[in-house]
């Protein structure tokens, strides 16, 4: 049956491993899919006319095989593409011929994202391939190429935008055929060209310029005619050939294999050849850097315009023309794995740098007339890179080692008489230079030769010596050295002088001669004298220093190995000196109570190493290392001297050290008059300056003003007692109190008062600088005037009271009071902290108002009221964190505000105001917890995101609402922002009596509940006998209150930073900072007053 005589219009799904056989061929007008095989028989044709071929099926990849020929004209091929690896994309495998036409559709599978240069051979054959697809529907930037490799009818090629891909649509592998390129047009100057072909693409004609060139591995391009200019980078993973045309590379290029059999290779770019440069003929006019790596033998053509040349070949390198490079440094470096040949006497020129030639051996190199500045041996391109070459100028570097022979020579006579110094010196000569250009003066010889034995000296035995080179020479050129002919050297003989050695002994020691205390001059041949008879009157232990020196006589040399017949012996006497006997002294450690000076008393002592029963005496002066208290202190002794009749026979050091103790003075009193500085020792009894840890306690009598100044060292005391009529001024340095400091008047202008002790001031307290850092209680009883100060450390207050004036204390850190009261009679009381405020059970009282502020933006900025606040004026309590009211508050008006947390009122605490007073509690971001009995005298205005509240008052709902409205009308927008009032309590019956909660209740948001069983009152609640509409729920605190909170947050951040920075600041800088802090506090007080006005209006 002829092809097409059978037509199938349905769907044939050929499973993997299955064969659909229709011998004779047929026409597919339906769908054939699967991963099996369709067999129409060799020479027969499957005609896909109006049908669809779909390898594997929809959404999966596989191979559909066809045995016979395949004609695709008029049909459709659908492909799924999942990648370039085998089995990732659909394939049509045909065992015969393929005729292409019809439509090609392809889509991507899964997460496959093609990369530039990806290609998928989807249609293969064993016969011939012809035609092309009439239409294609392909993924973006993907094209169909034709007959680009053996056994491949078509492949899909992906390229990035702007890339021209060689498709070979005309199947002639010709660059100049426009139909062969994607988009059907030749590439231009703005295009990157991609060649993905197993066959060589030819550029036979035309003058073309492209932006960049990419040739994948295994693919190739042959410039056989015309010219091709690559303006940008050329990346060739396969091969690039120039056989007749001109190739111009103006960008940075990398080529795997570059071949030249004609034509020209030009360009301004740098070129790197990574595998092979196969040169036969043609011209090279590159002007950039050329880097050649070549496997095998390499022929280098003439190249006269390069910037630099680096060649690394594994075989022979032959120079077939002149080479010139204009670059600096190692402009030309040619490395031959075997030998370098310049048989044509060509020239290497590096006018701005140098050339280097690496070759196997000077014995086989053909320099062709090249001369060098240096030669180097036993090195290759890998072990001695151009960058590491230390020599200057042009050079040859050989892999073979060079070896020189060292022959020993001598200057002067090669002999001397035994006992005399030799007159000759050794030298050497070198033979065996490997390169004709080498000599001893140009191979970088360094070091000194050493021989198997040196020239015999005056102590050497007589005889003949053969002196030969061993080691010591080196060459920067890499030469090795080996020993050659040695030198014969003779020693002859002559006389001897024996001299007794001078001797010395210590007084009190006896001396006994061994007979060896002598020296001989002139002994020959290693012979020795055994011993000599020696005698002296100074041998006795009683021989004194004053009678020395004593004569030592020598005689009767005997023994040993010397031959007296060869010597004329002369004896020379010597002297015996008696030296003083050295003694050591140790002193009994002294001890004293601190007295302000370092003088020590010399007590007992012990002399060691006395002789002959002598007992001399000792005198000395002693000083402690300092005047300060301490155990095991260093004591220095000076002027140490011996006394007595035998003192001259001994020696003793004039200085020594020991140890001693200074104990603490229990008490010292001020004797410095009406005023003075603490640091002046003359101001204290016995000059015993009470600094450091030297004195336990200090007393200052009446009528003295004592300044603890900066010149005083840091001091620690148990107690400091200042008598009535005196004053203590803390001006600098540091004073630690572990017990107590009591004084009528205390004035701190600088320095630090710290420790675990307490401070009690009975009359006047002033602080304008420094730090009050005691951890004990601070008690202040001030007769008159304001008590105002700033401190940069926490303070715990005991009893504090003034009889006329205000209290205003600002502390960077926490403030706490105790079980005793803090009282401001006749004035107001204000405490500002940048950490918690804790009021003890003693509470606070003031004739005027009371203001507490802990507004620094920190969770620790809380206020705890453990004692009552009793004020003749208003009471203001403002905290960033939580407020705990555990005691009563009395005042003309009361305002509590928490910026970020809750307010909790203990059931036993009552806040009361007189008639006409107001009570305002605000928790902007928290809740307010209270009970029915917590408020008296006025209905509280409670504002918070959630508030637990119970009230007791006869004030009506309408009164509250009307008051808020009228107050809002009375205040301008510039003065205050009136917050919305919390929902009022509900009313019952026809009157205006409030329903009072009997248990803790909660209001907030849009609704509020008052009473355990009463209806909920809110924006949407109605009841016949209830107020028609509740006042709006408070959403935010008064504007002034918000302003105060922002200011406090800013101050707290500044304070934390300044506490660190202040450690190294001067007193003036710290004083300025405290003035700024006081100014900020005044602004905060003004803000609080504005907040109170708003709160009163809202209530």
115 and 139 fall within a common domain: yes
Higher pLDDT, 1028 or 921: 921
Sorted by sequence, the CB contacts under 8 Å of residue 997 that are 6+ apart come out as 932, 949, 950, 951, 1010, 1011, 1012
pLDDT for res 603: 85
Tens-place pLDDT, residues 475-492: 999 999 999 999 999 877
What does the alpha-carbon distance between residue 266 and residue 623 come to, in Å, rounded to a whole number?
Answer: 93
Per-residue confidence band for 1044, with pLDDT thresholds at 50, 70 and 90: very low
CA angle 525, 468, 442 (to 5 degrees): 140
Of 432, 433, 415, nearest to 424 (Cα)?
Answer: 415
Per-residue confidence band for 150, with pLDDT thresholds at 50, 70 and 90: very high
Among 137-141, 338-342, 454-458, 926-930, name the one with the lowest average pLDDT: 454-458
Return the structure tokens found at 610.
């006395």
pLDDT for res 986: 29
1 and 48 fall within a common domain: yes
501 and 479 fall within a common domain: no
What does the alpha-carbon distance between residue 945 and residue 138 come to, in Å, rounded to a whole number?
Answer: 63
Per-residue confidence band for 946, with pLDDT thresholds at 50, 70 and 90: low
Whole-number percent of the chain with pLDDT over 70: 85
> With contact defined as beta carbons under 8 Å apart, do 9 and 30 qualify?
yes
When the pLDDT of each residue in the chain is averaged and rounded to a whole number, the result is 85
564 and 659 fall within a common domain: no
pLDDT for res 420: 82
514 and 600 fall within a common domain: no
Residue 1047 within a domain: no
What does the alpha-carbon distance between residue 1024 and residue 989 come to, in Å, rounded to a whole number?
Answer: 9
pLDDT of residue 355 exceeding 90: yes
pLDDT for res 25: 86
Last residue of a domain, one of 118, 137, 158: 158
55 and 79 fall within a common domain: yes
Residue 89 within a domain: yes
Per-residue confidence band for 567, with pLDDT thresholds at 50, 70 and 90: confident
> With contact defined as beta carbons under 8 Å apart, do 652 and 583 qualify?
yes
Residue 137 within a domain: yes
pLDDT of residue 177 exceeding 80: yes
pLDDT of residue 680 exceeding 70: yes
Return the structure tokens found at 863.
């206020």
Residue 599 within a domain: yes
Tens-place pLDDT, residues 276-306: 999 999 999 999 999 999 999 999 999 999 9
pLDDT for res 1071: 52
pLDDT of residue 1056 exceeding 60: no
DSSP string of 238-303, one letter each residue: EEEEESSSEEEE-S-EEEEEEEEEEEEEEESS-EEEEEEEEEEEEEEEE-SEEEEEESS-EEE--E
Sorted by sequence, the CB contacts under 8 Å of residue 853 that are 6+ apart come out as 830, 831, 832, 833, 876, 878, 879, 1048, 1084, 1088
573 and 643 fall within a common domain: no
Residue 130 within a domain: yes
Edge-to-edge order in the sheet of strand 425-431: 425-431, 402-411, 479-483
pLDDT of residue 1063 exceeding 50: no
pLDDT for res 1052: 37
Of 874, 948, 958, nearest to 914 (Cα)?
Answer: 874
End-to-end Cα spacing for the chain: 109
593 and 448 fall within a common domain: no
pLDDT for res 489: 92
pLDDT for res 287: 96
pLDDT of residue 932 exceeding 90: no
556 and 656 fall within a common domain: no
What does the alpha-carbon distance between residue 948 and residue 1099 come to, in Å, rounded to a whole number?
Answer: 17
pLDDT for res 956: 28
Residue 385 within a domain: no
Tens-place pLDDT, residues 215-264: 988 889 999 999 999 999 999 999 999 999 999 999 999 999 999 999 99
When divided into structural domains, the chain yields a total of 4
Residue 223 within a domain: no
pLDDT of residue 796 exceeding 50: yes
Three-state secondary structure call for residue 1024: coil
Last residue of a domain, one of 556, 579, 602: 579
Last residue of a domain, one of 603, 636, 663: 663
452 and 511 fall within a common domain: no
pLDDT for res 678: 98
Residue 913 within a domain: no
**Domain encompassing residue 653:** 584-663
- The CATH number linked to 546 is 3.10.430
611 and 569 fall within a common domain: no
Which of 301-305, 491-495, 1054-1058 has the largest mean confidence? 301-305
Question: What average pLDDT score do residues 389-412 get?
Answer: 94
441 and 572 fall within a common domain: no
Tens-place pLDDT, residues 962-1004: 222 222 233 233 333 323 333 333 223 333 222 222 223 332 3
């Amino acid at each position: 049956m002829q092809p097409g005589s059978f037509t199938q219009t349905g769907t044939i799904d050929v499973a993997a491993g299955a064969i659909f056989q229709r011998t004779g061929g047929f026409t597919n007008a339906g769908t054939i899919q699967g991963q099996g095989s369709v067999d129409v028989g060799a020479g027969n044709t499957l005609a896909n006319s109006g049908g669809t071929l779909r390898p594997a099926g929809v959404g999966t990849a596989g191979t559909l095989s066809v045995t016979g020929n395949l004609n695709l004209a008029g049909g459709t091929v659908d492909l799924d593409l999942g990648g370039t690896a085998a089995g990732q994309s659909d394939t049509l495998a045909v065992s015969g011929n393929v005729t292409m036409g019809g439509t090609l559709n392809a889509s991507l599978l899964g997460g496959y994202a093609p990369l530039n240069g990806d290609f998928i051979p989807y249609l293969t054959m064993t016969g011939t391939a012809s035609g092309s697809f009439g239409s294609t529907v392909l993924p973006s930037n993907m094209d169909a190429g034709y007959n680009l490799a053996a056994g491949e009818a078509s492949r899909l090629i992906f390229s990035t935008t702007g890339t021209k891909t060689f498709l070979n649509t005309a199947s002639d592998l010709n660059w100049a055929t426009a139909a062969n390129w994607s988009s059907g047009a030749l590439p231009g100057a703005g295009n990157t060209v991609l060649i993905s072909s197993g066959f060589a693409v030819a550029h036979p004609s035309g003058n073309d310029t492209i932006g960049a060139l990419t040739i994948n591995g295994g693919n190739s391009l042959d410039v056989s005619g015309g010219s091709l200019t690559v303006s940008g980078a050329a990346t060739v993973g396969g091969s690039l050939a120039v056989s007749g045309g001109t190739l111009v590379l103006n960008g940075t290029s990398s080529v795997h294999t570059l071949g030249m059999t004609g034509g020209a290779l030009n360009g301004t770019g740098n070129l790197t050849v990574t595998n092979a440069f196969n040169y036969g003929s043609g011209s090279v006019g590159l002007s950039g850097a050329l880097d050649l790596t070549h496997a095998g033998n390499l022929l280098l053509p003439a190249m006269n315009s390069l910037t630099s040349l680096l060649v690394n070949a594994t075989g022979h390198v032959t120079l077939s023309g002149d080479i010139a490079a204009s670059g600096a440094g190692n402009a030309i470096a040619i490395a031959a794995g075997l030998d370098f040949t310049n048989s044509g006497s060509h020239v290497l020129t590096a006018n701005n740098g140098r050339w280097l030639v690496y070759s196997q051996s000077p014995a086989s190199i053909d320099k062709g007339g090249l001369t060098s500045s240096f030669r180097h041996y036993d090195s290759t391109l890998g072990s001695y890179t151009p960058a590491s070459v230390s020599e200057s100028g042009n050079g040859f570097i050989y892999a073979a080692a060079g070896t020189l022979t060292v022959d020993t020579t001598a200057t002067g006579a090669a002999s001397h008489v035994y006992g005399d110094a030799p007159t000759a010196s050794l030298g050497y000569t070198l033979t065996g230079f490997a390169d004709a250009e080498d000599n001893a003066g140009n191979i970088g010889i360094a070091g000194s030769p050493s021989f198997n034995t040196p020239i015999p000296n005056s102590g050497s035995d007589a005889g003949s010596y053969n002196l030969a080179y061993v080691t010591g020479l080196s060459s920067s050129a890499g030469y090795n050295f080996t020993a050659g002919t040695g030198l014969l050297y003779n020693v002859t003989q002559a006389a001897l002088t024996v001299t007794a050695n001078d001797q010395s002994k210590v007084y009190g020691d006896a001396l006994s001669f061994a007979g060896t205390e002598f020296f001989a001059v002139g002994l020959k041949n290693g012979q020795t004298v055994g011993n000599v008879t020696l005698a002296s009157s100074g041998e006795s232990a009683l021989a004194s220093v004053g009678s020395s020196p004593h004569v030592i006589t020598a005689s009767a040399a005997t023994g040993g190995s010397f031959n007296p017949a060869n010597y004329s012996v002369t004896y020379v006497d010597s002297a015996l000196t008696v030296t003083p006997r050295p003694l050591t002294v140790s002193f009994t450690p002294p001890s004293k109570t601190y007295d302000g000076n370092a003088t020590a008393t010399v007590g007992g002592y012990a002399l060691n190493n006395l002789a002959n029963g002598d007992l001399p005496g000792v005198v000395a002066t002693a000083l402690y290392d300092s005047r300060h208290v301490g155990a095991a202190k260093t004591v220095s002794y000076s002027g140490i001297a011996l006394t007595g009749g035998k003192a001259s026979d001994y020696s003793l050091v004039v200085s020594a050290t020991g140890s001693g103790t200074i104990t603490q003075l229990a008490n010292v009193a001020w004797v410095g008059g009406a005023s003075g500085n603490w640091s002046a020792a003359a101001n204290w009894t016995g000059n015993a300056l009470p600094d450091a840890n030297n004195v336990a306690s200090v007393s200052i009598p009446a009528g003295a003003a004592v300044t603890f100044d900066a010149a005083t060292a840091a001091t620690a005391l148990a107690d400091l007692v200042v008598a009535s009529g005196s004053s203590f001024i803390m001006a600098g340095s540091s004073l630690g109190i572990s017990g107590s400091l009591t004084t009528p008047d205390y004035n701190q202008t600088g320095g630090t008062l710290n420790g675990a002790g307490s401070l009690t001031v009975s009359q006047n307290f002033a602080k304008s600088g420094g730090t009050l850092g005691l951890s004990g209680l601070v008690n202040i009883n001030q007769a008159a005037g304001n008590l105002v100060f700033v401190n940069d450390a926490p303070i715990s207050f005991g009893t504090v009271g003034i009889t006329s004036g205000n209290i205003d204390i600002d502390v960077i850190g926490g403030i706490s009071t105790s079980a005793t009261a803090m009282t401001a009679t006749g004035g107001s009381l204000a405490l500002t902290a940048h950490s918690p405020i804790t009021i003890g059970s003693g509470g606070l009282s003031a004739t005027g108002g009371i203001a507490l502020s802990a507004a620094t933006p920190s969770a620790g900025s809380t206020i705890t009221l453990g004692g009552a606040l009793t004020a003749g004026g208003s009471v203001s309590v403002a905290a960033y964190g939580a407020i705990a009211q555990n005691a009563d508050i009395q005042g003309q008006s009361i305002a509590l505000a928490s910026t970020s947390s809750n307010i909790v009122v203990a059931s036993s605490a009552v806040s009361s105001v007189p008639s006409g007073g107001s009570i305002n509690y605000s928790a902007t971001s928290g809740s307010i917890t209270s009970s029915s009995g917590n408020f008296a005298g006025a209905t509280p205005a409670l504002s918070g995101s959630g508030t637990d509240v119970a009230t007791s008052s006869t004030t009506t709902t309408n009164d509250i609402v009307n008051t808020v409205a009228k107050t809002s009308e009375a205040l301008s927008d510039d003065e205050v922002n009136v917050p919305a009032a919390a929902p009022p309590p509900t009313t019952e019956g026809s009157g205006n009596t409030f329903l009072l909660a009997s248990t803790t209740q909660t209001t907030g948001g849009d609704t509020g509940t008052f009473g355990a069983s009463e209806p909920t009152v809110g924006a949407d609640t109605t009841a016949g006998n209830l107020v028609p509409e509740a006042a709006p729920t408070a959403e935010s605190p008064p504007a002034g209150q918000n302003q105060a909170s922002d200011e406090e947050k800013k101050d707290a951040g500044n304070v934390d930073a300044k506490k660190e920075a202040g450690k190294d600041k001067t007193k003036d800088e710290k004083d300025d900072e405290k003035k700024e802090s006081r100014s900020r506090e005044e602004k905060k007080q003004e803000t609080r007053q504005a907040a109170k006005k708003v709160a009163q209006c809202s209530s």
